[in-house]
Copies of this chain bind each other. A is one copy, B any other.
Amino acid sequence: MVRQRELPRSGTQRVLAILAAFTAERPVLALSEISRLAGLALTTTHRQLAELTRWGALERGDDGRYRIGLRLWEVGALAPRSLGLREAALPFLEDLYEATHQNVQVAVLDGREVVYVERITGRDAVHVVTRPGSRLPLHATAVGLVLLAHAPISEIDAVLAAPLKRYTEYTVTDPARLRRALADTRRNGYAISVRQIETVSTSVAAPIRDERDVVVAALSIVVPAKGAHARRHVPAVLAAARGVSRGIGSTPGNP
């Protein structure tokens, strides 16, 4: 199924349809696969791939298949919500990681989802499904609760009015309970998410704010649900998030 609702019409749409054909599940594609996924004729695909490869957006392997090229990654890395945020966040993520040796990550809001832009994970840390570039829904993640709690009311209403997916028996999908969780998040200044995506993990998240006090991202730690008490990580998560917030005003890309 093509990810785009309609077949590409303009040249620009064709280029983007090709890039969109690549996913975390399928990072390597043959020409005919790209043609099918992008909804383009073979000839068209062939021509476009040649140009994208020449520029470096794509790379063609010895096996004849295509992969996203370094040049595209370089351009993508210029995204302030990835590069700028990451540069500001990394020292604090390092500190939090060293203190706990658990997963630490940063996510931003994009539409009705969270997108993880950074993750540090240790070998012995609890398994997490997220990786940089991953998307998860707002209601079932601690970072999502933080980001939603500070979104406009209309946005909150829209998210809670839509069908909410249940991942585990613990996943909260009742809008009333979620509104209380959002109110708690605002009052406490952090969110805790217990066994919502996977039953083995719990996470604590806190908001990262820009110089205008707008919540632009959330930082979280993910720990095993059993044993360690997530609540005891709250002070460190808050401190790390505040540290990132202080650094954010000086990163390129902000007015």
A residues near B, CB below 8 A?
A: 10-16, 19-20, 22-24, 27-28, 48, 51-52, 55-57, 59, 61-63, 67-84, 86-87, 90-91, 94, 97-98, 108, 110, 115, 117, 120-123, 131-133, 252-253, 255
Contacts and interface: CB of A to CB of B under 8 A. Distances in A.
B27 A83 contact: yes
B15 A11 contact: yes
Nearest to A55: B16
A23 B78 contact: yes
Nearest to A75: B19
Nearest to A72: B76
Contact of A13 (B51, B56, B80, B90): B51
18 contacts: A10-B51, A11-B12, A12-B15, A16-B52, A16-B57, A20-B75, A28-B252, A61-B255, A62-B255, A67-B81, A68-B75, A68-B80, A69-B81, A70-B108, A70-B115, A73-B82, A73-B133, A86-B132
Nearest to A56: B110
For A75, A91, A110, A253, the residue with the greatest tally of chain B CB atoms inside 10 Å of its CB is A75
Contact of A27 (B56, B62, B78): B78
A147 to B, nearest CB: 13
Given A12-B52, A76-B73, A253-B28, A120 B132 contact: no
Given A23-B78, A71-B110, 13 more contacts: A10-B11, A12-B48, A16-B51, A19-B75, A28-B252, A28-B253, A59-B81, A61-B255, A63-B255, A67-B253, A70-B110, A78-B133, A91-B123
A103 to B, nearest CB: 11
**What 7 A-B pairs have minimum CB-CB distances, sorted nearest first?**
A76-B76, A11-B11, A73-B76, A68-B79, A73-B82, A77-B133, A73-B79
Contacts of A253: 27-28, 67
A131 B87 contact: yes
Nearest to A58: B79
Nearest to A67: B80
Contact of A70 (B11, B55, B57, B81): B81
A44 to B, nearest CB: 11
A218 B80 CA distance: 27
A18 to B, nearest CB: 9
A11 B59 CA distance: 20
Contacts of A51: 10, 12-13, 16
Given A23-B78, A253-B28, A83 B120 contact: no
